Amino acid sequence: MSNELQLQTGPYRTTFIGTEITRQSTKDEWENYGEILRRVDEAKQWAIGDWLVDGKKHYEDDVYKKASQVIGLDETTLRNYKYISELYKYELSLRNDNLYWQHHKEVASLKTIKETADGKLELSGGTDYEKIEELLSRAEKESLSVRDLREEVRKHKEQQREYIRLANEPEKYSVIYADPPWRYDAGDQHTFEEQETVKGTHYPDMTFDEICQVPVSQMACNDCVLFLWVPAPLNERAFQIVKAWGFEYKAQMVWDKVKHNVGHHVSVRHELLFICHRGTPPKVPRLVDSVYEEERTEHSKKPVYFRQLIDELFPSGKRIELFAREKTDGWDAWGNEI
């Protein structure tokens, strides 16, 4: 086999060992040749992938080992090349020479939704060529970068998961907001205001075990987010409640109540709002400040801000407020005062 490999355009002559410049280049010639080299690299990935598809009939699963010996690339890279080429082999028109090979790779994992024998929805093993064509067309028309296209793919997959979840669990809740009536045992560090709850002057309190036994796990869908109000002195116990309800702690917000209370070691003027997940809830559209300041009013009443924020960050799916004092539009409510 000859070692000669040539690519020649204008003043540039590229061989197996480098590029020879045969005369002085112009700016346009230099830019054009760079574009040609980019396209050669793109063509290489498609060409190797197509070569591997053909080689499968000769070597079966050993094709990657043999190809690695011949071409000098690792087997993982070769598997990627073959997967993409094979995927687009049946829809050759989707190979867009105005986009990078990496653009095609980003959309290759998109699947259609199917209905199972028991009437549930799930992602199928079938490639969603229609969506792939739509996103590749957008990428070309809007000059989307590979990174931009990756984000569009992520959004579409998240929408699919949400659609499937809502279809399969229409009666369960995607968002749960809870402000339990905590009871402070002897020795708990609490403020004078919180002692009023113990006396039962505001609403019946609940023991730690009673709160744990509220059937939150049964009312939550597989992918659910829980917002749980926790008085600062009971932080440690709250983690046990999160676990009992079938959730995993993720983060917290702090409500700065402005007004001071008398406490054991410090004047506790803040309260915590735990953010907990079950499964994989949708990602939030934006990050918000973890600290919010608003002067407290009547006992235990939480700022409207937090419920409105939850609606903004998690706008889809059924939602319920546990231990609610009043009914809110768009929310189911559970509590002794409803």
Q: What is the CATH number of the domain that holds 309?
A: 3.40.50.150
| Residue-level pLDDT at 336 | 60
| Residue-level pLDDT at 92 | 79
| Residue-level pLDDT at 315 | 92
- Same domain for 226 and 316, yes or no, is yes
Structural domain includes residue 94: no
| Residue-level pLDDT at 191 | 44
Task: Report whether 226 contacts 216 (CB < 8 A).
Answer: yes
- Same domain for 146 and 11, yes or no, is no
Q: Which residues of the chain have pLDDT under 70?
A: 1-5, 90, 185-204, 261-264, 298-300, 336-338
Q: How far apart are CA 316 and CA 294, in angstroms?
A: 27
- Same domain for 194 and 304, yes or no, is yes
- Same domain for 198 and 274, yes or no, is yes
| Residue-level pLDDT at 167 | 82
Q: Residue 225: give the domain boundaries.
A: 173-334
- Same domain for 153 and 186, yes or no, is no
**Predicted model pTM:** 0.59
- Same domain for 49 and 112, yes or no, is no
| Residue-level pLDDT at 290 | 94
Quote the number of domains for the chain.
3
Structural domain includes residue 95: no
- Same domain for 162 and 57, yes or no, is no
| Residue-level pLDDT at 148 | 96
The structure tokens 């709002």 sit at 273
What stretches of the chain adopt beta strand conformation (E)? 7-9, 12-15, 18-21, 111-115, 121-127, 173-178, 220-231, 248-256, 270-278, 291-293, 319-322, 332-334
